[in-house]
Structure 1
Amino acid sequence: MGERKIDTEGCQGIKFRNVTPDVFSCMKQKLQAYGIETSPGDSGTLEGNGIVAHFSWDGEANLLIEIKERPLTTYCGQVSGKLRAFLRECQGY
């Protein structure tokens, strides 16, 4: 099993805007299909593939994801890039 890095100084929070209820639901489904379990509801934990993150959605439009742990071989930009790709896919449904 690969080593994980606890991000005490690493990834900044990733903020998404214009996240409608449909887009939020779609993103959670994409994360789960990618192997990342998500807490039910509008806030909680994302965990899988060596990544641990906290998420919080305001129920209307703003989503914040904070990466807490990640594999040593994975950079913050890779994680945020994948999340942004999921968002773009979900905005097109």
Structure 2
Amino acid sequence: MGGCDSVTYHNVTQNVFDCLKKKLEHAGVKVPAGNEGEIEGYGVKGHFKWDGATNLTITITSKPLILPCGTIMGKLNDTVHDCGGAT
């Protein structure tokens, strides 16, 4: 089980951040309260940190070997964009 490179999203306002957390939770990913913490779901673990203004960094720290980083990051990118953020 390895991780993936960190990705930083921009234009992540409070509304975008709240939307993202709700969508992840609705999809079965455990997301703690606050601006920083560990996320987990479907065998994928990661860390997120939002600066409280516009930048959100997510690092996937471990994942199943058969699940490519590109698939995980693609889903995250789609969700962030759906909520109004940008890469």
TM-score (norm 1): 0.87
Task: Indicate the structure with greater strand content.
Answer: 1
Offset of residue 91 of structure 1: 1.2
Aligned length: 85
Query: Are 2:49 and 1:56 equivalent residues in the alignment?
Result: yes
Query: Where does residue 81 of structure 2 map in the other structure?
Result: 88
Return the structure number with greater relative CO, CA threshold 8 A, min gap 6.
Answer: 2
Runs of 4+ displaced beyond 3 Å: none
Q: Which amino acid aligns with 2:47?
A: H
Higher alpha-carbon Rg: 1
Structure 2 residue runs without a partner (length 5+): none
Query: Where does residue 23 of structure 2 map in the other structure?
Result: 30
Taking the aligned partners of 1:83 and 1:67, their CA distance within structure 2 comes to 11
Deviation string 1:9-64 (CA, Å, 9 cap, x unpaired) is xx110110010100000000111111100011000011011110000000000000
Alignment RMSD? 1.2
Matched position secondary structure for 1:71: coil
Matched position secondary structure for 2:8: strand
Offset of residue 68 of structure 1: 0.5
Query: Where does residue 40 of structure 1 map in the other structure?
Result: 33
Query: Where does residue 60 of structure 2 map in the other structure?
Result: 67
